[in-house]
Structure 1
């Protein structure tokens, strides 16, 4: 489904937990990113290019499973990028995972559970903000994340009469009965309606928890997409996510996302720290398939790194 509404959610002056690209002197709390507004003349990535890069990365990183696992009821929502069946827990875990390491976010979620009880959303919502901050401090940006988490919980309770978003998973509130499933667009629309929930966080919940065909764009995915020329040169992360969600085939979205994140973390050859030099299978692919020269590759790496850091 098309991603029509994207909400940053952070009020001016708060700062964006989700590295939102719309914050600035003239902050916009709501922006529109319609597939129809993506550059239709910008053909990349083609389905074939997406499949080639998926195959390359899967072969280079056999330790990364490109098949989508079933959400784990016993998993840590931060460690699994929101890959748990409880939608509200998935959202909280994904918020905790922003702008920090997996180790730190996992520890923050574990500490939050130990302090309040796992999925004791009522206790978290009612607690003094300082208690929530203390529980998640090891995850970084604790003051901001605590505000977002408590505000989301209170807003969900006010809207639905319960601390639950299971209706997004097609489960009727207060029961295990099947409800009319929400479309991808409807689920995205609801998630980004909560203050502090940006498009990337919402997309992670769709992909890892709800099993939808969504393509989150984090720092690694954005940088590599820039390197590959898969997004227009002036695209920010939000525009890039809308564009890539349109262009990448649904059956490749999960695998390509986790593989690009994994490659971005591990490969030094496509990072700017060494001047754009070093071995990288994506650089080799660009050279062999697109005729990019070595000196051009170094420039592309540095520019992609610069854009991702902006």
Structure 2
């Protein structure tokens, strides 16, 4: 099975329209406000192809299984090989999470581990069962409850500012009205709140609102660059736009969750290298190894580089 998968990857890499090695500085494609609404920031970069995203999704799913922490957000319509859902319909996780709860969870997850962010959210909800209580509480009290998640003063200010603005604008602390808005309207609406950035919005879109979106965090950004899905000079904001244009909607959720999980577990694919985590993850089992080794020189000849990419 392993040899078959590697042969499939090698054949695909040889047949795929891989781009010529990117120059150190990109040519300017767009300027000013047009950049925000660009249909495609890297129109000459033809990866990933739909076929490639499907192969990577299936290989990562075979390696990791579907991450259990994301099962409750998974739509029944998500396409996946049968038998890999890890009890999606049997775990009793179908209860809908409020948009506001999800938004605060994403804020607390910034610059910390999953374990610490979950602890911070649980501590916050335990100390202040309602968001009205969070808004009314002294900032220092809120900071103390979420300190385990790091950056407590910054995150507290963001949460309390968001709650205050929401109450002023809507008269109640509830974001459920977003469910009836289009994706672009949601992005525009949430961008009005200080401290709510594009990645936070994208996570809320994909998880709480179950829209076809593909958030790009540091794990996914690093992997996307290392396997050639974006040019070498790509930045994270344009990578988000590029991948959302290139990845089929029906694969976005599964692929995003799997790439995020793989980026945390695989020492070779982790942004911080093999010192990131002391895991027993076998380097030879990484299904992205062949992609990471593949390079195209200016003449179009395939080269190989070291496993550290």
Same fold (TM over 0.5): yes
- In the alignment, the residues of structure 1 paired with residue 132 and residue 146 of structure 2 have an alpha-carbon distance, to the nearest angstrom, of 17
Partner of 1:60: 63
- In the alignment, the residues of structure 1 paired with residue 189 and residue 127 of structure 2 have an alpha-carbon distance, to the nearest angstrom, of 28
1:230-283 deviations in whole A, cap 9, x for unaligned? 1122222111111111111100110000000111111123346359x9432101
Native 8 Å contact 2:266 2:283 kept in 1: no
Native 8 Å contact 1:45 1:248 kept in 2: yes
TM-score when scaled to structure 1?
0.72
Partner of 2:213: 214
SS of match in other structure, 1:281: coil
TM-score when scaled to structure 2?
0.72
- In the alignment, the residues of structure 2 paired with residue 234 and residue 113 of structure 1 have an alpha-carbon distance, to the nearest angstrom, of 42
Residues 65 and 121 (structure 1 numbering): CA distance in 2 closer, same or farther, change over 3 Å?
closer
**Offset of 1:223 from its aligned partner?**
0.6
**Offset of 1:36 from its aligned partner?**
2.2
Native 8 Å contact 2:202 2:214 kept in 1: yes
Native 8 Å contact 2:40 2:242 kept in 1: no
Residues 63 and 85 (structure 1 numbering): CA distance in 2 closer, same or farther, change over 3 Å?
closer
Partner of 1:15: none
Partner of 2:230: 231
Structure 1 position 195 matched with structure 2 position 194: yes
1:150-189 to structure 2, matched below 5 A, reads: 150-169=160-179, 181-189=180-188
1:42-57 to structure 2, matched below 5 A, reads: 42-57=45-60
Native 8 Å contact 1:64 1:258 kept in 2: yes
Structure 1 position 273 matched with structure 2 position 276: no
Partner of 2:156: 146
Query: Please, which runs of 5 or more residues in structure 2 have no aligned partner?
Result: 1-32, 76-94, 276-281
- In the alignment, the residues of structure 1 paired with residue 223 and residue 202 of structure 2 have an alpha-carbon distance, to the nearest angstrom, of 18
**Offset of 1:32 from its aligned partner?**
5.4
Post-superposition, which runs of at least 4 consecutive aligned residues in structure 1 deviate over 3 A? 65-72, 271-275, 285-294
Residues 292 and 192 (structure 1 numbering): CA distance in 2 closer, same or farther, change over 3 Å?
farther
Query: Please, which runs of 5 or more residues in structure 1 have no aligned partner?
Result: 1-29, 73-82, 170-180, 302-310
Native 8 Å contact 1:66 1:259 kept in 2: no
- In the alignment, the residues of structure 2 paired with residue 71 and residue 93 of structure 1 have an alpha-carbon distance, to the nearest angstrom, of 17
- In the alignment, the residues of structure 2 paired with residue 187 and residue 130 of structure 1 have an alpha-carbon distance, to the nearest angstrom, of 31
Native 8 Å contact 2:214 2:243 kept in 1: yes
Structure 1 position 123 matched with structure 2 position 129: no
Native 8 Å contact 1:50 1:252 kept in 2: yes
Q: What is the aligned residue count?
A: 246
Alpha-carbon RMSD: 2.8
Residues 152 and 274 (structure 1 numbering): CA distance in 2 closer, same or farther, change over 3 Å?
closer
Native 8 Å contact 1:207 1:214 kept in 2: yes
Native 8 Å contact 1:35 1:243 kept in 2: no
Residues 65 and 53 (structure 1 numbering): CA distance in 2 closer, same or farther, change over 3 Å?
farther
Native 8 Å contact 2:268 2:307 kept in 1: no
Structure 1 position 36 matched with structure 2 position 39: yes
Native 8 Å contact 2:294 2:302 kept in 1: yes
Partner of 2:290: 284
**Offset of 1:292 from its aligned partner?**
5.7
Task: Give the counterpart of 1:111 among 123, 137, 146.
Answer: 123
Native 8 Å contact 2:190 2:196 kept in 1: yes
SS of match in other structure, 2:288: helix
